[in-house]
Amino acid sequence: MEFNTDFKSGFAVMAGLANAGKSTLLNKFAGVDLSPVTHKPQTTRQNILAISEGEGHQIVFVDTPGFLHAEYKLQQIMLNSLDQAINEDADLVLFVYDATAPLSKHLPLIKKLKNLYCPILLVINKIDLVKDKAELDKIENTLKGEIDFKDVFRVNAKEGVGVSELEAATLSYMPPSPPYFPQGQLTDRWERFYIAEFIREQIFLLYGQEVPYATFVEVEKFTEDLGDKNFIRAIIHVERQSQKPIIIGKGGAAIAKLRKSAQARIVDFLQQKYRLELQVMVTPNWRGNTKNLRQFGFLD
């Protein structure tokens, strides 16, 4: 099939530390809250695509798990997702730099990005939290000494400040190519994936430090076209028996709260009424178990 050689399309991959604001930025590009955002690091576990279209172009923005030191198998897979996206998929990398995190924490990631062949834009995020602007100049100058960036942007992803300028620059680095996805498509995954992600997002928001990391959400049933009777049944997998009562809470209070907020999030996204049912199941050590990780879609 012939294509209009003026058409531009490509992959713009976001890379950064956990909590840097990659998913926040992706959602701004998407125009909807597609990728879970929480105050906790390591919220994103799998690459998430947001397809942005305009006259004569299609940009595929890729959200990735935050760069981390991998300790268990799931984290290794998360790191591999980032590596694959920056090494194999990217036409452009957006290095989302958390202006509130120390430079020393960024060094291993800087080392990785230095070896890339594709163009890189430096995106200094959370500028609203840095009162002394000289501090931003210092960050910028230090980083420029490490990586040959094509350009530098200062943004506040949360409020969308500087995002349209960044998107325009991103477009200028997209190569001539036919679109990768059919017109009008927002992302590459099915609704079930996002339903599970939104439930997990609410778990990250509602529960304390450790338990959210031990959860995996599996959508077991998802009905459509039943009108008021539409329902979703999801299983929350935890790793240990002791985590089950934490998710459920006293008299079921915690899970009731979770059910309510997750249901609202899903209804808001799908723009249809759904009743959500949640169940908790112990799947011992699933984060380190290849069979479980395959079953949960983290491995092919």
Ligand X SMILES: Nc1nc2c(ncn2[C@@H]2O[C@H](COP(=O)(O)OP(=O)(O)OP(=O)(O)O)[C@@H](O)[C@H]2O)c(=O)[nH]1
Q: How many residues does the chain have?
A: 300
Q: Is 22 helix (H, G, I), strand (E, B) or coil?
A: helix
Site for ligand X (CB under 6 A): which residue of 10, 21, 162, 212?
Answer: 21
Among 44, 156, 170, 243, binds Mg ion (CB under 5 A): 44
> What is the Cα–Cα distance from 103 to 217, expressed in whole angstroms?
34
Residue 170 interface partner, choices ligand X, Mg ion, none, CB cut-off 5-8 Å depending on type:
none
By the 8 A CB rule, do 99 and 126 touch? yes
State the nearest-atom distance from the C-beta of 216 to Mg ion, in Å. Answer: 16
Query: Which residue, 23, 117, 98, is CA-closest to 61?
Result: 23
Can you tell me the distance from the alpha carbon of 84 to that of 133, in angstroms, rounded to the nearest whole number?
35
The half-sphere exposure of 288 on its side-chain side, counting CA atoms within 13 A, is: 7
> Does 202 participate in binding ligand X (rule CB under 6 A)?
no
CA 238, CA 244: separation in Å to the nearest integer? 7
CB of 47 to Mg ion, least distance (A): 10
Residue whose Cβ sits closest to ligand X: 66
Q: Which does 250 bind (CB under 5 to 8 A by kind): Mg ion, ligand X, none?
A: none
Residue whose entry in the numeric block shows the structure tokens 């509602």: 206
Site string for ligand X, 53-82 (x = CB under 6 A): ------------xx----------------
Neighbours of 251 (CB within 10 A): 8
Contact characters 99-128, ligand X, x per CB under 6 A: --------------------------xx-x
Q: Is 43 in the site for Mg ion (CB under 5 A)?
A: yes
Binding site residues, ligand X, CB under 6 A: 16, 18-24, 37-39, 41-44, 65-66, 125-126, 128-129, 156-158
